[in-house]
Amino acid sequence: MKLPEVTITNILYATDLSENARYAFAYAVSLAEQYGARITILHVIREMPDLLERNVLGYVSKDTWEDIKARNIQETRTSLIGKRRDNILIREVLTQFTKDVKRDSSGETDFSDEIVIDRGNPVKQILKQAELRACDMIVMGSHGETSLADVMMGSITRRVLRKADKPVLVVRLPGTG
């Protein structure tokens, strides 16, 4: 039996900025160095689950709900990043992180990277960005942020594994097994 040739040219690294996601980045960098691949870094800002939104609409009108969401998004944005452009703080953190990793990397390949920050359902956005950017594989941590929504709906990683049509490398933080 002849094995297919494996080529990896673009890796989607999905991060929620947790310690586990940072650890998983080491694997993405290692693969990028071995294959001469580039890394697309994705961070998804989670929006409210559809089920919760449907329940809220039973109490207030759609227009009122949209107004409440807009105010909360603006208040959150202001508290996180002041008057700066949307997502710039997260982008700066990810940019500096990748510069530090490149500087400390012992590999000879200088992988190029693209930083994408999106809003929405993390599973849908990870799968969408992997497809849009023609990624050959997805690298992500096995644990990250935890919330009641994750407990009720299952982890983001588990859902990406079930729905992805490309290889997914799931990296577990040592000592969490």
Angle made by CA atoms 141, 86, 57, in degrees to the nearest 5 = 80
CATH of residue 37:
3.40.50.620
Query: Is position 15 within any domain?
Result: yes
pTM: 0.69
Q: How many domains does the chain have?
A: 1
Query: Is position 55 within any domain?
Result: no
Residues 6+ apart with CB under 8 A from 142: 20, 155, 157, 170, 171, 172, 173, 176
Query: Is position 76 within any domain?
Result: no
Mean pLDDT of the chain: 77
Mean pLDDT of 65-90: 58
- Which of 63-77, 79-93, 101-115, 151-165 has maximum average pLDDT? 151-165
H or E stretch covering 163? helix 156-163
Query: Is position 161 within any domain?
Result: yes
Question: Domain span at residue 25?
Answer: 10-46+85-171
Query: Is position 91 within any domain?
Result: yes
